[in-house]
Amino acid sequence: MQWINLFRANLRKEYLEMKRYLPNTIALVLTFYFIFLGLFGVIHFFGDPSTQDANIQFVIVNYIFWFLALSVIQMFGFEIVNEAIRGTLEQLSMSPMGIWRILSTRLIASTIIYGIIIFVLLIITMLTAGQWLNIDILSIFPIFVLTVFGMYGVGLMVGGLAIVYKQIQAFLQILQFLLAGLTFIPLAASPFMYFLPFVIGVDLVRDIMIGGQTLIDIGWLPLTILFINAFVYFIAGLLFFNYCERMAMKKGLLGQY
Amino acid sequence: MEKIIEINNLTKSYRKRKSKEVIQAVKNVAFNVYKGEILGLLGPNGAGKTTTIKLICGLLYPDSGEIKIKGIPNTVRRLESLQHISAVLEGNRNLYWRLTVRENLEYFAGNRGRSRKEVKKEIDELLQMFRLKDKENELVNRLSRGMQQKLAIAVAMLANTEVLLLDEPTLGLDVQTGLEVREILKSIVKNYHRTIIISSHDMDVIQDICNRTVIINQGTVVIDQRVDELIKLFEVRSYRLTLTEPLSLDQQKAISARFPANEYVEDQAHSYLTVQLEKSEDIYQIFQVLQLNRTPIDSIDRKAIRFDEVFLKIIQGDHQYAMD
């Protein structure tokens, strides 16, 4: 029950702040849409006409996942930096629920809110491009959840760095490109890609949304690999975050910015 | 009296980032906090006060030593120990400025696993108590500093913990709001049976509301005593003699030799000698010096001492005899 109350409180806070910072939220959505228009224009006007439809579909899925990965992974770090600047990080650390639980529920809350925004944007981008993807919710949902779970793991690692070093903005800038690589490069490029976070998840979603496959077509092996991948990254992220939190407490860095 | 917090041999050092020099912030600090008291934690800047506070809150790990909150060691069972303590560490910066007064209270209660429904009545009571009822739907960034400070304390109250730790609760407040906060804190102890630890530079606040004070200087505890007893200890040893004739140079030298911490001033009608005595009977040594020239004494008064003067004397190393 405590978990539910914690989640509710953070979902409400995320919603209220998004509402209060409305111009910021609108700017974020518009930026996302205009970048997509740019990509679409490049493919439309300069791409090979014979592969144009496939390329546009590929870009839509990748771009959506890139946006999601950016929101989920960077957010953990940004939240910690922002809380340290505001002066509320130590206050959160004093909750008997533990800071990782608070930030995780906040992250789940914002994933839900961003998930709704992303879904709306997906419809708008498909309308703009005139390309309709296969939105098989039943097949996409479990893969989406596991993929996001793996992203949380990476997010926790970024959060761990933020809790110790605080000024990680430069790293987050570089991270944008790394995440673009992870979402845009197909799994078939190298077997090594299976070991990277959430690549397999994005690839499976592409199979469903572009290739029209279902969970049954995908089979249990890729799903098991996705589950193990997500689980390992999440646990690693959690352990790393707790290690960093402890280090910050030993060195007295928790509230410093 | 029941011990709520036990602090034993607490030591914490930091390494400076550039020079790698090790700074011992806290050295073998030990004191207890008892149920239902208001304890004042004092010390000059850089004395180790904030480090001690953060160690109590579980925001720092000690190098050695132990803190038990209601018998729970806060390094081993940190989250469990945090169920008994809440704090206001940075005053109005502890709040979300884009949320309203009520939303802040609800959010922080939620962060401790409590539902909005469960805390609704408590929030209403706190809003009344802190006189924030008419501001409950106001964004925090539109409140005055005093109101923000009161809200931060209300947030800590809502955590329903036995111990409240307040760092500089009256800093930057106007006189009226400062007095209001003092009254609120007294009422929290009296009506809600909470234990409060206050760190402050405002000696008036400490003298007015604290039962006991722990003074930390250069990382160690130099005083752990009741505030009224501490004042009495210094008060009885401070005397002011009003003389109808000035002291000769020889007399002044003799006084200075025996009582270095003396103050001598003259005006047209009188001369005044203020001395700190280690023992009450030392007053006879003054009489001996006055006897030399048969200097007439108009009056002898015990000098009223303010708490900030006591604090200064302790910090300047005068605590040894206060502890006798």
Q: Is residue B322 part of a domain?
A: no
Write out chain A residues lying below 8 Å of B57, CB-based.
Answer: 90, 94
Q: Examine the domain organization and report whether B180 and B278 are in the same domain.
A: no
Q: Examine the domain organization and report whether B187 and B143 are in the same domain.
A: yes
Predicted pLDDT of residue B319 = 54
Q: Using alpha carbons, select from A147, A148, A125 the residue that is nearest to residue A32.
A: A125
More confident residue, B158 or B233: B158
Q: Is residue B25 part of a domain?
A: yes
Work out the minimum CA distance from A17 to partner chain B, whole angstroms: 7
Nearest to B113 among A2, A87, A94 (CB): A2
- Please give the residue of chain A at the shortest CA–CA distance from B91: A87
Q: Is residue A18 part of a domain?
A: yes
Cβ pairs A/B, distance under 8 A: 105
A19 close contact with B: CB closer than 8 A = no
Mean pLDDT, rounded, for B123-144? 93
Q: Examine the domain organization and report whether B175 and B32 are in the same domain.
A: yes
Domain count, chain A: 1
CB A218 within 8 A of CB A200: no
Write out chain A residues lying below 8 Å of B59, CB-based.
Answer: 90, 93-94, 249, 254-255
Does A6 sit within 8 Å of B110, measured CB to CB?
A: yes
Q: Is residue A256 part of a domain?
A: no
Q: Is residue B120 part of a domain?
A: yes
Long-range (24+ apart) CB contacts under 8 A made by B258-266 are: B258/B282, B258/B285, B258/B289, B259/B285, B259/B286
- The DSSP letter of residue B291 is H
User: Is a pLDDT exceeding 90 seen at residue B138?
Assistant: yes
Q: How much of chain B exceeds pLDDT 90, in percent?
A: 48
Nearest to A96 among B61, B83, B95 (CB): B83
As given in the structure block, the two tokens for residue A179 are 């995440």
Q: How many angstroms separate the CA atoms of B106 and B144, rounded?
A: 20
Q: CB neighbours (10 Å) of residue B70? A: 19
Q: Is residue B213 part of a domain?
A: yes
Nearest to B111 among A17, A92, A255 (CB): A92
Q: Examine the domain organization and report whether B34 and B174 are in the same domain.
A: yes
Q: Is residue B108 part of a domain?
A: yes
Does B60 sit within 8 Å of A12, measured CB to CB?
A: no
Classify A26 as helix, strand or coil.
helix
Could you please report the per-residue DSSP string of B92-152? Answer: GGGS-TTSBHHHHHHHHHHTTT--HHHHHHHHHHHHHHTT-GGGTTSBGGGS-HHHHHHHH
Q: Examine the domain organization and report whether B159 and B293 are in the same domain.
A: no
Q: Using alpha carbons, select from B36, B68, B28 the residue that is nearest to residue B219.
A: B28
Q: Examine the domain organization and report whether B223 and B242 are in the same domain.
A: no
At B321, the pLDDT band (50, 70, 90 cuts) reads very low
Q: Is residue B71 part of a domain?
A: yes
- Please give the residue of chain B at the shortest CA–CA distance from A86: B93
Predicted pLDDT of residue B323 = 45
- Residues spanned by the domain of A133: 2-251
Predicted pLDDT of residue B320 = 52
Does A12 sit within 8 Å of B110, measured CB to CB?
A: yes
Q: Which of B111, B138, B197 to mutate to test the interface with A (most CBs of A within 10 A)?
A: B111
CA dihedral of residues B110, B115, B121, B123 (deg, nearest 10)? 10
Q: Examine the domain organization and report whether B211 and B258 are in the same domain.
A: no
Nearest to A6 among B15, B58, B113 (CB): B113
Q: How many angstroms separate the CA atoms of B158 and B154, rounded?
A: 6
Q: What are the angstrom distances between the C-alpha of A31 and each of A38, A76, A112, A132?
A: 11, 21, 20, 22
Q: Is residue A257 part of a domain?
A: no
- Any idea what the CATH number is for the domain that residue B147 is in? 3.40.50.300
CB B193 within 8 A of CB B34: no
ipTM of the complex: 0.85
- Residues spanned by the domain of B200: 3-227
- Please give the residue of chain B at the shortest CA–CA distance from A3: B113
A145 close contact with B: CB closer than 8 A = no
Domain count, chain B: 2
Q: Which residue do the tokens 């922002």 mark?
A: A82
Q: Examine the domain organization and report whether B269 and B300 are in the same domain.
A: yes
Q: Is residue B312 part of a domain?
A: no
Tens of pLDDT along chain A (257 residues) come to 888 999 999 999 999 988 888 898 889 888 888 887 787 777 777 777 777 777 777 888 888 888 888 888 888 888 888 888 888 888 888 999 988 899 889 888 988 888 888 888 878 887 887 777 778 888 889 999 999 999 999 999 999 999 888 878 788 888 888 888 888 888 887 888 888 888 899 899 888 888 888 888 888 999 999 999 999 999 999 999 999 999 988 888 876 65
Write out chain B residues lying below 8 Å of A20, CB-based.
Answer: 98-99, 139
Predicted pLDDT of residue B202 = 83
Q: Measure the CA angle with vertex B33, ends B31 and B39; round to 5°.
A: 100
- Any idea what the CATH number is for the domain that residue B282 is in? 3.30.70.260
Q: Examine the domain organization and report whether B244 and B221 are in the same domain.
A: no
Q: Is residue B118 part of a domain?
A: yes
Write out chain B residues lying below 8 Å of A91, CB-based.
Answer: 87, 89, 94, 108
Sheet holding B72-73, edge to edge: B22-34, B3-15, B64-69, B72-73
Sheet holding B297-302, edge to edge: B263-266, B271-276, B238-243, B297-302
Work out the minimum CA distance from A114 to partner chain B, whole angstroms: 20
Q: Examine the domain organization and report whether B168 and B48 are in the same domain.
A: yes
Q: Measure the CA angle with vertex A121, ends A194 and A154; round to 5°.
A: 30
Q: Using one digit for the tens of pLDDT, what is the confidence trace for A13-71?
A: 999 988 888 898 889 888 888 887 787 777 777 777 777 777 777 888 888 888 888 88
Does A10 sit within 8 Å of B96, measured CB to CB?
A: no
CB B59 within 8 A of CB A89: no
At B322, the pLDDT band (50, 70, 90 cuts) reads very low
Sheet holding B163-167, edge to edge: B85-88, B163-167, B195-199, B38-42, B212-217, B220-226
